[in-house]
Amino acid sequence: MEKPLVSVNICTHNRAELIVKAIESVLEQDYLNLEIVIADNGDDYTESKINKIIEDNPAWQEKIQYYKNDTQGISENRNFSLQKSNGRYIAVLDSDDYWISPQKISRQIDFLEQNPEYALIGTNAIIVNSEDQKIGEIKNLENNDKITKKFLMKNHFVHSSVVFKKEGFPKYNEEIFIWEDYDAFLKIARTERVANLPEPMTAYKKHSGNISKYKKIRGVLTLEKIIKENKEYYPNYFKARFKNMGRLAKAILPL
């Protein structure tokens, strides 16, 4: 019996130099029924670079669908890649991250196929710097009940680790520029079960550089809106609001 098709969504914006490692980590998977959907809303240099990468690797060509598009913002680009995907399941991989276990997709699809009441499964992750040196770990809650109990307090999923059912996915909110993954996951977990595998199977890249005060404040206010929209679905609403007010104070006040 053939395994279900998995569409790996790689959204990119001017990150041609980083995307090779992401693609390689997909093609190293022992799960064979994969397609890679690259959605690029970056500049012309990125387009030419990615096309050259694909041309130089003929073995990749039958697996990769590359789409240059004019979408605005990350959420719109993510929704574009979803529309172009043919798989029953969607695996997300941001172009600067990569997978570190060849069994990642196999393990996740086995879990979802054996537990049809679950709509989404993530993994734990390592944190790497720009030289791909490990500088930390991300250990999230694994059990659905524990996740949903504390979901308003924290996003318990590394975006580049998740695999979810395409059918029923709520789409990414195109009105926000950050937390779009958290917003979608909270909507899924209102009615479906979610979980994480305990092993670190994903590498999350942490970039150096400062975020402007304006972006920090805007991000906190976006999170505040998301928390309020989920008040009726999850516990710890007031704790989550209080924690976010701390983020706002930190963003506004000088160090």
For residue 91, being part of any structural domain is answered with: yes
Look up the pTM and report it.
Answer: 0.95
What residue numbers bound the domain in which 38 lies?
6-208
d(CA 42, CA 71): 9
∠ CA 194-162-236, rounded to 5°? 45
Q: Contact at 8 Å (CB) between 39 and 78?
A: yes
Closest CA to 74 of 190, 199, 159, 152: 159
Same domain, 95 and 157: yes
Same domain, 193 and 216: no
What is the per-residue pLDDT across 60-71, written as a single tens digit (0 to 9) for each?
888 999 999 999
Same domain, 18 and 95: yes
Same domain, 187 and 218: no
For residue 1, being part of any structural domain is answered with: no
Same domain, 92 and 215: no
Same domain, 49 and 84: yes
The total number of structural domains in the chain stands at 2
Same domain, 197 and 221: no
d(CA 67, CA 148): 35
In this prediction, residue 30 carries a pLDDT of 97
Lowest-pLDDT range of 35-44, 147-156, 224-233: 35-44
Single out the residue in 192, 208, 224 at which a domain terminates: 208
Same domain, 127 and 224: no
The percentage of the chain sitting over the pLDDT mark of 90, rounded to a whole number, equals 82
Same domain, 111 and 221: no
d(CA 248, CA 218): 9
Same domain, 165 and 220: no
In this prediction, residue 209 carries a pLDDT of 66
In the predicted model, what is the mean pLDDT of residues 99-114?
98
95: CATH: 3.90.550.10
Average pLDDT, the chain: 94
What is the per-residue pLDDT across 34-87, written as a single tens digit (0 to 9) for each?
999 999 998 888 888 888 888 988 888 889 999 999 998 999 999 999 999 999
Q: Contact at 8 Å (CB) between 35 and 119?
A: no
∠ CA 90-160-70, rounded to 5°? 70
Q: Is the pLDDT of residue 255 over 60?
A: no
Q: Contact at 8 Å (CB) between 162 and 122?
A: yes
d(CA 29, CA 33): 10
For residue 215, being part of any structural domain is answered with: yes
Same domain, 196 and 236: no
In the predicted model, what is the mean pLDDT of residues 87-113?
98
For residue 112, being part of any structural domain is answered with: yes
For residue 218, being part of any structural domain is answered with: yes
Residue 10's beta-bridge partner residues? 38
For residue 216, being part of any structural domain is answered with: yes
For residue 169, being part of any structural domain is answered with: yes
Closest CA to 165 of 6, 1, 25: 6
In the predicted model, what is the mean pLDDT of residues 130-149?
97
Same domain, 133 and 175: yes
d(CA 80, CA 85): 9
